[in-house]
Amino acid sequence: MEQRIYELYDHYVHSAEPRRVFLHKLVTTAGGVAAAAAILPWLEGTGAEAAMVPANDDRLTTETMKFKGATGEMSAYVAMPKAGGKLPTVVVIHENRGLTDHIRDVARRLALEGFLAVAPDMLSPDGGTPKDRDKAGEMIGKLKGGDVVKNLVATTAFARGLPNSNGKVGAVGFCWGGQRTNQLAVADPKLLAAVPYYGRQPTKDIDKINAKMLLQYAGEDPRVLAGKDAFVKALKANGKSVEVYVYAGAKHAFNNDANPARYNPAAAKLAWSRTVPFLKANLQ
């Protein structure tokens, strides 16, 4: 039953399915309204309860910054060690619910590792990420792919030009952001390192990638894994640097510790232990 319910939710968050349709399916599959009501918080979490680094951590400097995007004004959450200096810089690309507290937390984790972390709100040109996560999902679904990539290229340029950046920029992204990390690697020849977590793969212009690639996949994620082998083969055929890891037993979005249905602590810890050294090696 758990797997069937998870698959229902996974389809819902990665499609344009109306919430009322998903809830009807959940009630039917769970065996009633009461069971569905008990399961729903487990599936969705709150998006904020699992912060590993407090928002007011006195070791860090954080702020929201504005900059010019390709389609309008952009906003980004920026975190760095209080000591400052010229820092390797990482753009953190959010999931399909926008710039959440969880992604801000990921940016702070990177800052504690010695990075200048820039987490853009890709819904900025449309007013920013709303508190209603379902509304955010609807807004994400209406974004034009080409505009998203152009705004990400603008974000890397902004990040590269910050006073505390050493000028070397990489990207890490999750789910929707994992797919966009791959696309950014294609679109931005100056990107030096890319770490897409369970992101769908581009199928053309792979020869344009200059970034070194670290691909992180969940073992129980057939929708995304379907494109893995062809992508890796194309990267290698074009002489690109690529490392690939698949975490057995982990579900899509296994790094999201704000979502108990998906979070896999062992896989998340192992993937992070590979992500941080990879970014340091390529951005310092």
Q: What is the pLDDT at residue 71?
A: 95
What is the end-to-end Cα distance of the chain in Å, rounded? 47
pLDDT at 152 over 60: yes
Task: Quickly count: other Cβ atoms within 10 Å of residue 223's Cβ.
Answer: 13
- Is residue 196 classed as helix, strand or coil in its secondary structure? strand
**Comparing C-alpha atoms, which of 128, 136, 192, 127 is closest to residue 165?**
192
Please tell me whether residue 218 adopts helix, strand or coil conformation.
strand
Angle at which helix 19-30 crosses helix 2-13, to 10 degrees, equals 180
Amino acid at 4: R
Q: What is the pLDDT of residues 220-259, one digit of tens each?
A: 999 999 999 999 999 999 999 999 999 999 999 999 998 8
What would the two tokens of residue 96 be? Answer: 């399909």
Distance CA(195)–CA(254), nearest Å, equals 15
Q: Which residues contact 136 (CB under 8 A, 6 or more apart)?
A: 96, 97, 98, 123, 129, 130
Alpha carbon separation from 222 to 175, 219, 259, 261 (Å, rounded)? 13, 8, 20, 17
The residues pairing with 172 across neighbouring beta strands, listed in sequence order, are: 92, 195
Contact of 88 with 170, CB cutoff 8 Å: yes
Confidence of residue 50 (pLDDT cuts 50, 70, 90): low
Q: In this predicted model, which residue has the larger pLDDT, 21 or 185?
A: 185
Model confidence at 48: pLDDT above 70? no
pLDDT at 49: 55
**Percentage of the chain modeled with pLDDT above 90:** 76
pLDDT at 1 over 60: no
pLDDT at 169: 98
Q: Residue 79's beta-bridge partner residues?
A: 62, 117
**Domains in the chain, start-ordered, CATH in brackets?**
2-44 (no CATH), 60-283 (3.40.50.1820)
Residue showing tokens 């890397």? 156
Looking at residues 129-143, what average pLDDT do you find? 90
C-alpha–C-alpha distance, residues 37 and 33, integer Å: 6
131: left (phi over 0), alpha (psi -120 to 50) or beta: alpha
Reported as a pLDDT band with limits 50, 70 and 90, residue 151 is very high
Angle at CA 182, nearest 5°, toward 176 and 185? 140
Query: Please, which residues bridge with residue 85 across strands?
Result: none
- Decide which of 41 and 47 is more confident: 41
pLDDT tens figures, 200-223: 999 999 999 999 999 999 999 999
Q: Is the model more confident about 111 or about 47? A: 111
* Residue 253 CA to its chain's centroid (Å): 9
Distance (Å, whole) CA 284 – CA 167: 9
